[in-house]
Amino acid sequence: MRVAVFDDHRIGVIVGDGIHDVSALAGQTAECGTCAVGGFIAEFGPRREEIREVLDETPGRPLSEVVLRAPVPRPTHVLAAPLNYPDHQAEMTDELGARRLSAAELGFFLKATGSVSGPSDPIRIPDRPSRRFDHEGEVAVVIGREARAVSRGEALGHVFGYTLALDVTMRRTPEHQEERSMRKSYHTFTPLGPWVVTADEIPDPSVLSLRVWVNGELRQDASLSDLIVDVPDLIAQASSVLRLQPGDVYLTGSPAGVGPIEPGDRVVVEAPEIGRMELDVVERGW
C-alpha cells in the first residue's frame, strides 16, 4: 500500500493514479493536521481491513490534482546513518586525505525534524557562497511500532514502510568544522516522499535500489544490499539507545556519487520499488 500526506495534511492511500482520503480513520482534526500521521501509522496494522473498506467505498481523486506533502511531516526522531556504503566511505576518504569511520563505528546521528520537507517543496540553499552543498540520495525507513531494545531478528517487524529521502549536506572545510547535525539540518534539507510503500510489499529491504540524477546526469546508482550496516541492524542498534516511535524516520545512508547542487538544478531520486521524487533547487529567501 502507498500511504501519502496531501494538501492540508490529509492522509491518503494511493491506488493506481488515484488517492483516497482516509483521514477520518486517523481521527484527524484541523488542529492536529500533522500529528495525526503518527497515530495512523501506529494503528495501521490492526485497522488494515477498515482502510481497505474505505478504499472500496470512497472515490479516489486523481493524484495529479493534489499536492503531496512529506509522508511523515513531523517525525519524533529523524535518525541517519553516516558513511554506510563502502564506495561512499572510499570517496570521502579520498577527499579529506584520511580514512573516515563508517556507520559500523559511528552509529547514527540526528537531523532536526524541522529540516523535513515534502516532494512538492524545493530544496532551499542558504546564501553562503563559500560553502558547498551536496545531495545525498537515500532510502529511508519509517518506523511503525515502538521499538525498544529489539533484536536484529525482530527489527523488520517494527517497520511501517519505506520512502525516498535526500540528506542535503553543507560540507565541512578546513576553516569550517560545524557539527554534522547542524550542517544537515537547514530548512528543507530533508526532503521525504513521494509516499511510504508499506513493508508488506518490501519484506526484504536489501532488494531496494536507488538512483539519483542532477539535471539529467546520473550521479548515484546503488543497491541496499551494499549497506555496511543493514536495515535490521540499524533499527536494533538505535532501539538500544532510545525508544523508536511510530513515524520515526531513519535515513539509511548515501552511496558514492554525492556532488554539489545549486539554485537552478533539478534533482531526481528514484527507487523502482518505491517511486520517484523530482525536486527543484532554489535560493533560500531568508
Rounded to a whole number of angstroms, the minimum distance from the CB of residue 6 to Mn ion is: 27
State the residue number with the nearest CB to Mn ion: 167
Residue 142 CA, distance from chain mean position: 8
Residue 275 near residue 2, CB atoms below 8 Å: yes
Cα angle, residue 146 at apex, residues 144 and 148 outer, rounded to 5°: 135
Rounded to a whole number of angstroms, the minimum distance from the CB of residue 80 to Mn ion is: 5
Rounded to a whole number of angstroms, the minimum distance from the CB of residue 90 to Mn ion is: 15
Rounded to a whole number of angstroms, the minimum distance from the CB of residue 5 to Mn ion is: 23
Nearer to Mn ion, 42 or 140 (CB): 140
CA distance 266 to 56: 37
| Residue 59 DSSP one-character state | P
For the chain, how are helix, strand and coil distributed in percent, rounded to 5?
25, 35, 40
Nearer to Mn ion, 79 or 274 (CB): 79
Select from 67, 73, 61, 163 the least CA-distant residue to 120: 67
Contacts of 96 (CB under 8 A, 6+ apart): none
Nearer to Mn ion, 21 or 91 (CB): 91
Residue 196 near residue 159, CB atoms below 8 Å: no
Nearer to Mn ion, 145 or 171 (CB): 171
Residue 5 near residue 69, CB atoms below 8 Å: yes
Rounded to a whole number of angstroms, the minimum distance from the CB of residue 10 to Mn ion is: 30
Nearer to Mn ion, 89 or 239 (CB): 89
Rounded to a whole number of angstroms, the minimum distance from the CB of residue 184 to Mn ion is: 7
Nearer to Mn ion, 91 or 167 (CB): 167
- For binding to Mn ion (CB under 5 A), which residues are involved? 136, 167, 254
| Residue ranges of E strands in 241-274 | 249-251, 259-260, 266-271
